Amino acid sequence: WPKLSRMAINILSIVPMSDKPERVFSGARRTVSWDRGQLEAETIEMRECLKHWKRTGILDTFFK
């Protein structure tokens, strides 16, 4: 059973996804009100990324 045990270790040892991406994009519901429902998914994604980068200071390193 060496192949099966190796396969089980490979599958079961996958690091779970961080909850940070979920937290970042859960704010999208506040961004997309019923009035802004016509925004495309790509536009919403870009806005949420920029908002998160601004809040964490990532943008400050590029725009000093």
Helix or strand run (H / E) with residue 6: helix 2-12
Instruction: Tell whether pTM > 0.85.
Output: no
Q: Number of folded domains in the chain?
A: 1
The model's confidence at residue 7, banded by pLDDT at 50, 70 and 90, is: confident
Q: What DSSP designation does 38 have? A: T
Instruction: Compute CA distances 64 → 18, 55, 59, whole Å.
Output: 30, 15, 9
Tens digits of residue pLDDT in 31-43: 777 666 677 888 8
* Domain limits for position 38: 17-63
The model's confidence at residue 17, banded by pLDDT at 50, 70 and 90, is: low
* Within a domain: 4: no
The whole-number pLDDT of residue 49 equals 83
The whole-number pLDDT of residue 18 equals 65
* Within a domain: 7: no
* Within a domain: 23: yes
